[in-house]
Each structure stands twice: as structure tokens, then as C-alpha cells.
Amino acid sequence: MDTGRAAKSARTVVISGVPDGVLKDDVMSDILVIHFQKSKNNGGDVEDIIYPTREKGVAYVTFEDQEVVESVLKKNEHRLEDKRLSRYYPLKVTPYFTNVFSSVTSVLNMSVFKDQYVLEDLIQELKKKNTALSFGPLQSNGHISVQGSFPAIKMLRDCLLLKAKSLSEDKNEERKSRQRQKKQQQQCRLTTDTNNFVLDAEREKQVVVLDTDIYLYMKNVLPKKLLANTDVVISDITDGDITTLYLQKTRSRPNAAQVLAFKEEIERQSLKLHNTLCKERIYLEEYTREEKQKYQLMCETLKSHYPSVLVIPYDTHIDVIGNSSEVFEFTREVNKEVQSLFQHR
């Protein structure tokens, strides 16, 4: 079944720019099928079409042959034309795979650097070195919002952590030179409001920063042995799109090297999931409270057939996370049930 789903997602394209509300949905579906079956559009036999979808102006078209997908994607311009339309409409065609983990938002607390740097100058320097990231305005309390891919944000946070650690060590050396005191480990914090980073060598604590959705997937879907290591105590702090894990050895159990190895295993698994998982969001804003509950119940009912899909319900939407083929099939079934529900209103 997994092979079949993967093959189907590989034969599916996402169509954006479909004119909304111009014609009846079934008529628009027919026009789309005709368009993508024409040879002048590099098309071929269409196996299935999903329209309308939860996203306005978006349709999913599945071809019988994967080679047709490649041909359709190569066409520079798709113009939807039909005598039933008053004008032509440009369409955007993309392969079906939406890795929403490509964008996360993190809030950094830069106030730790205010004694050594002019924060505005430091931010400008970071912007020049991290052009793939989008920086919000610097707040009066030293906080700044950063948006971009999770790997890029993690790299930035790691870089700032090292910079903060260096400042911390310099201060510690100055303190030692002035007076002899009991050795103490300087704790360096570069965090969001919930202190996402902590260095604590005396207690042999390791820190892992993860995308929140990936962490939830690891926690709820992957084999329990990954995060259920009885030799390591795990605590977590979630701040929006970012979750920080604190790993610490239990008494008389593993040494620091074993805790580090466990950390590295989590990071390897996280990177693998980041490259393979995708997420689709089902929006619920227009529904009543009762309709939202029915929608969530529908997702939970279908979930039993998709053990590798994670469904996360929120007040305004539902996130569906998994590999692209299973997410495609799951949301497809949900959409069919929703359309049936609407017809009986």
C-alpha cells in the first residue's frame, strides 16, 4: 500500500490559479481535465482530479503515467482556456510535495550581548551573513523574531550560542583574576522567553534544538525506544515552532559520552525527518464549533488507517504530518468526507 501511495503522489501535480466562483465546481473540474489531457499542453490521460480543495483556487491532478508529470512541469506557461470562460487564466503547476518545515519562526533574546555590542550593529551583521533568513524589528527588551528554514535558524542559534559562551568564559577569567573563589560553571543563556539554550557541564547536560512538528512526530509516531531511553532524563520546552530538549544522565547510569551519543542520534533522526516529512494544513476558521468537532472526529477515524501520519488539532486548523504520499491520501479522503458533509447541510 505504501508503494502504491508513493507512486500516486509521484504522478500528482498541484494546480494553483484556478478561477474561483466563476463556474460550478464540476464544470471547472471538467475544464481542468480537458486542459491537462491536451497534447499541446504536454498533457496525457488523467486518472483523478480533486477540486475544489480547502485552499481556494487549488486543484490536484493525478496522471496515469509519471512521465506526463515531467512533461507538464516542463511547459513554461499553462493558460486555462475554454469557451465557457470569459478569458484565459494563467495556471501555476508544481509537483505534489509541500515540505512546510522549510519555514519556522524563532524569537531570540539578544540582550545577553548588550554589554559588549551595539545590538543594532550586531543585527545588521547577522543579516548580511544570513541572507536566507528574515529578521523582524529589534524589540526594546532585546528580543528579535527570525523566520526561515529550520537548519538555517539552528545554525544561527548555534553560532550565537558559541559567541555567548565565549563572552561568558571571558567574564569568568576576569573574575578569577580579581579574587580566588570556588570554581563555578558559568551558565550562558541565549533563549526565547522560556530559555531555550542551557550549558551545564557540571551536570553533563546536552541540548538539542528541534523543529516542534518534527519533535512531535518523533515523540508520537516513531518507535518509542528513540525518546524513551531510560538511561537519559529528557525534558522539553516548546516555544512556537522551536522545541528544545535537555538531556541529562540518570544517577549511576551513562557517562557524558553516552548522553552525547544519544543527542547525536536524535539530531540524525531529526535531519532525516526534515528531509522526508511534509505537512498539510486543513483550515477550520469558517466552521462552527460543532462542525470543527465533527471534522476532528473524522480525522481521528481515518487516522487508524494511517499509523505513520500525525494529526495535530488546533482551534483554527488541523495539521497533518507524514510522508508526502500518505499525507496526500489522508487529506484526499478527508476532503471527500467533508464534501459529502457539506452536501447534506
For the beta carbon of residue 129, count every other beta carbon within 10 angstroms. Answer: 10
Regarding predicted confidence, which is higher, 319 or 154? 319
3-state secondary structure of 250: coil
Tell me, yes or no, whether 250 lies in a domain: yes
Nearest residue to 197 via CA among 151, 155, 233, 245: 245
The whole-chain average pLDDT of the chain stands at 79
pLDDT tens figures, 146-179: 877 777 777 888 788 787 777 766 555 555 555 4
State the average pLDDT over residues 287-295.
84
The torsion defined by the Cα of 137, 165, 245 and 194, in degrees rounded to 10, comes to -40
Contact between 57 and 338 (Cβ < 8 Å): no
Tell me, yes or no, whether 193 lies in a domain: no
State the average pLDDT over residues 27-51.
95
Look at residues 68, 95, 122 and tell me which one is the last residue of a structural domain: 95
Tell me, yes or no, whether 1 lies in a domain: no
Look up the pTM and report it: 0.56
pLDDT at 278: 81
pLDDT at 46: 96
Tell me, yes or no, whether 194 lies in a domain: no
Q: What angle do CA 280, 97, 136 make, to 5 degrees?
A: 65
Look at residues 245, 275, 305 and tell me which one is the last residue of a structural domain: 275
pLDDT tens figures, 300-309: 889 888 888 9
Q: Give the pLDDT band of residue 80 (cuts 50, 70, 90).
A: very high
Tell me, yes or no, whether 196 lies in a domain: no
Q: Which helix (H) or strand (E) holds 342?
A: helix 324-343
Tell me, yes or no, whether 181 lies in a domain: no
- Does the pLDDT value for residue 86 go beyond 60? yes
Tell me, yes or no, whether 118 lies in a domain: yes
Look at residues 95, 114, 137 and tell me which one is the last residue of a structural domain: 95
Phi and psi dihedrals of 92, rounded to 5?
A: -105, 125
Query: Domain residues for 311?
Result: 278-340
pLDDT tens figures, 222-238: 866 566 666 788 888 88
3-state secondary structure of 29: helix
Q: Give the pLDDT band of residue 335 (cuts 50, 70, 90).
A: confident
pLDDT at 72: 94
Interacting residues of 335 by C-beta distance below 8 A, sequence separation 6+? 50, 53, 54
What proportion of the chain, given as a percentage, has pLDDT over 90? 17
pLDDT at 312: 92
Q: Which helix (H) or strand (E) holds 305?
A: none
- Does the pLDDT value for residue 201 go beyond 60? no
Q: Amino acid identity of 51? A: Y
Q: What's the CATH number where 147 sits? A: 3.30.1370
Q: Which helix (H) or strand (E) holds 99?
A: none
My answer on whether 269 and 286 are in the same domain is no
Reading the block at residue 256, the C-alpha cell is: 557524558
